[in-house]
Amino acid sequence: MQDNYENSFEATRSDREFNLKESIFKYLRYWPLLLAFILISLVIGFIKIRYTTPIYKVTGSLFINKEGENRGGNESLENMFLFSNNVNLQNELEILKSKQLVSRVVKNLGLQISYHNKGNVRSSNIYGSSPIRLEILSLKDSTNSFTLDIEASETNFRIVNSNVSIKYGEPFEIKGALLKLQRVPSASFASYSSDNFVITYQLLSTATNKLAKVITTAQSIDQATILDIAMETDNITLGKDVINNLMAEYGKMNIEDKRRISQATMQFIDERLDTIRNELSAVESGILKFREKNEVIDLNQQSTQEFGILTEASRKLADQQVQSGIVDYLIAYIQNPVNRNNLVPTNLGIQEPVLEPMFAQYNALQLQRNNLLQTTGIANPAIATADRNIEKLREQILGALQNVQHSYSIASRKLTEEISRSRSSIRKVPSRAMGLLDIERQQKIKQDLYLFLLQKREEAAISAAATIANSNSLEEATASGQPVSPNKKNILLLALFAGILIPLGIIAILEMLNDKIREREEITRNITAPIIGEIGHAGEETLIVQAGSRTVVAEQFRIMRTNVQYIINNVSKPIILVTSSVSGEGKSFVATNYGAVLALTGKKTAVLEFDIRKPRLLKGLEMQSSKGITNFILGNAALEEIIRPVPEFSNLFAIGCGPVPPNPSELLLNQQVSRLFDELKARFDYIIIDSAPVGLVSDAFTLSQYADACLYIVRQGYTLKRQLGMVNDLFQKKRLPRIGLVINDIQTQGRYKGYYGYGGGTYYGYGYGYGYGGDYFQEGKGKKSKFNPLLFWKK
CB 199 within 8 A of CB 114: yes
Cβ neighbours, 10 Å, residue 336? 10
Percent of the chain exceeding pLDDT 90 equals 26
Give 255's contacts (C-beta < 8 A, 6+ positions apart): 467, 468, 469
CB 639 within 8 A of CB 594: no
For strands 652-655 and 643-645, give the pairing: antiparallel
Give 223's contacts (C-beta < 8 A, 6+ positions apart): none
For strands 165-167 and 643-645, give the pairing: unpaired
Residue type, 639: L
To which H or E segment does residue 323 belong? helix 304-335
Buried b (16+ CB within 10 A) or exposed e, 472-509: ebbbebebeeebeebeeeebbeebeebbeebbeeebee
Residue 134 dihedral angles phi and psi, to the nearest 5°: -90, 135
> What pLDDT score was predicted for residue 359?
81
- The domains of the chain, with CATH numbers, are 2-52+486-513 (no CATH), 529-778 (3.40.50.300)
Q: CA-to-CA distance for 563 and 557, rounded, in angstroms?
A: 10
Buried b (16+ CB within 10 A) or exposed e, 578-610: bbbbbbbbbbbbbbbbbbbbbbbeebbbbbbbb
Q: CA-to-CA distance for 300 and 307, rounded, in angstroms?
A: 10
Which among 559, 499, 372, 505 is positioned nearest to 44, based on CA atoms? 499
> What pLDDT score was predicted for residue 492?
92
> What pLDDT score was predicted for residue 401?
84
Residue 345 dihedral angles phi and psi, to the nearest 5°: -60, 145
Question: In which residue ranges of the chain is pLDDT below 70?
Answer: 1-19, 22, 66-87, 291, 294-306, 347, 349, 425-434, 436, 466-467, 540-542, 748-795
> What pLDDT score was predicted for residue 654?
92
Which among 776, 572, 738, 782 is positioned nearest to 657, based on CA atoms? 776
> What pLDDT score was predicted for residue 306?
65
Which among 344, 394, 351, 347 is positioned nearest to 367, based on CA atoms? 344
Q: CA-to-CA distance for 150 and 115, rounded, in angstroms?
A: 11
> What pLDDT score was predicted for residue 76?
44
> What pLDDT score was predicted for residue 604?
94
SS3 194: coil
**Residue 748, burial from CB neighbour count under 10 angstroms (0-12, 13-18, 19+):** middle
Q: CA-to-CA distance for 281 and 453, rounded, in angstroms?
A: 16
Strand spans (E) along 489-625: 531-536, 575-580, 605-609
Q: 304-335 and 236-294 helices cross at what angle (nearest 10)? A: 140
To which H or E segment does residue 243 belong? helix 236-294
> What pLDDT score was predicted for residue 792?
35
CB 774 within 8 A of CB 695: no
> What pLDDT score was predicted for residue 393?
87
